[in-house]
């Protein structure tokens, strides 16, 4: 098994992105979030036309943020597709086992989702006293009262209920979730990319409301891009060296 926290494999214009920390139930540590963010950036900039997001092991898609090594730099939102990395190409989640807290947010921001029969979705933040707020826009994606039940009570949604309320598209036997997601991916990889991208942007930018944390994350992402840019480094160096800066827009 690879020791990479996130694996990226590309075949037939489909990216398979795998969260790969099964010994910790794929908990989202600082380093894993950075690797996942980088994988989505790689996908965004690649010739791949569709991505499947899954995880190693059969116990957990992910149990959410690692409480012993919580993601702070980068923050959790930075690895969310459409939030930290704005991608105009589709992302499909393939989920087995526990999908908890911030990991549910990952699925929430994917375009399609397939669940194994053993999938268990829940959001316990109200019961443990912590929340980053990204979950709020789930109320724009599933019926309001169902969303409130899920967010506020920590109720476990099994795979069948998740499908019934619109969290996932399909439920399959455990072990078949990636192949079921690939069936969607093959259709999308062969579809017209301009149309797929346009429809995704229309839904993301004009139809689906964003929660406050999501809006903040989008703005924060723009500011971080400047702070981490080569141009900012060049500006500082030019000031110290008392010369005209040469900006390259990078």
Are 141 and 107 spatial neighbours (Cβ–Cβ below 8 Å)?
no
What's the mean pLDDT in 86-94?
97
φ and ψ at residue 127, rounded to 5 degrees:
-90, -20
Looking at residue 185, what is its pLDDT?
Answer: 98
Using 50, 70 and 90 to split pLDDT, how confident is the model at 222?
Answer: confident
Q: Is 57 exposed, middle or buried, given 0-12, 13-18 or 19+ CB atoms closer than 10 A? A: middle
Using 50, 70 and 90 to split pLDDT, how confident is the model at 100?
Answer: very high
Cα separation, 54 vs 112, in Å, equals 12
What's the mean pLDDT in 102-127?
97
Are 47 and 5 spatial neighbours (Cβ–Cβ below 8 Å)?
no
Q: pTM for the complete prediction?
A: 0.90
Looking at residue 218, what is its pLDDT?
Answer: 82
What's the mean pLDDT in 17-25?
97
Joined tokens for residue 117: 């029969």
Joined tokens for residue 81: 């597709």
Looking at residue 196, what is its pLDDT?
Answer: 97
Residue 190 in this model has a pLDDT that exceeds 60: yes
Quote the percentage of the chain above a pLDDT of 70: 99
Looking at residue 182, what is its pLDDT?
Answer: 98
Summary mean pLDDT of the chain: 94
Looking at residue 235, what is its pLDDT?
Answer: 86
Residue 1 in this model has a pLDDT that exceeds 60: no
Q: Which domains, and CATH codes, for the chain? A: 6-191 (3.90.226.10)
φ and ψ at residue 212, rounded to 5 degrees:
-55, -40
Nearest Cα to 52, choosing from 24, 21, 4, 12? 12
What's the mean pLDDT in 5-11?
98
Q: Which residue reads 């301009």 in tokens?
A: 194
Say whether 27 sits in a helix, a strand or coil. coil
What's the mean pLDDT in 233-243?
88
């Amino acid at each position: 098994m690879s020791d990479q926290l996130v694996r990226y494999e590309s075949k037939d214009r489909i990216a398979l992105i795998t969260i790969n920390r099964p010994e910790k139930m794929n908990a989202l540590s600082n380093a894993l979030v950075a690797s996942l963010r980088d994988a989505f950036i790689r996908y965004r900039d690649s010739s791949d036309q569709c991505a499947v997001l899954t995880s190693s092991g059969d116990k957990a898609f992910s149990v959410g943020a690692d409480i012993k090594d919580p993601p702070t730099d980068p923050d959790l939102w930075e690895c969310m597709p459409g939030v930290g990395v704005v991608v105009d190409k589709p992302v499909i989640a393939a989920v087995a086992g526990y999908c908890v807290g911030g990991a549910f947010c990952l699925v929430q921001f994917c375009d399609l989702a397939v669940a194994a029969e053993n999938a268990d979705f829940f959001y316990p933040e109200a019961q443990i006293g912590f929340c980053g707020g990204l979950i709020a826009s789930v109320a724009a994606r599933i019926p309001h009262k169902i969303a409130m039940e899920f967010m506020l009570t920590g109720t476990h949604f099994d795979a069948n209920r998740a499908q019934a309320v619109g969290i996932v598209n399909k439920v399959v036997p455990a072990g078949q979730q990636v192949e079921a997601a690939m069936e969607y991916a093959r259709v999308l990889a062969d579809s017209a990319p301009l149309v797929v991208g346009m429809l995704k942007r229309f839904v993301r930018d004009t139809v689906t409301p964003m929660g406050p944390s999501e809006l903040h994350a989008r703005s924060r992402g723009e500011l971080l891009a400047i702070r981490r840019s080569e141009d900012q480094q060049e500006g500082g160096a030019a000031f110290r060296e008392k010369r005209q800066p040469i900006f390259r827009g990078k």
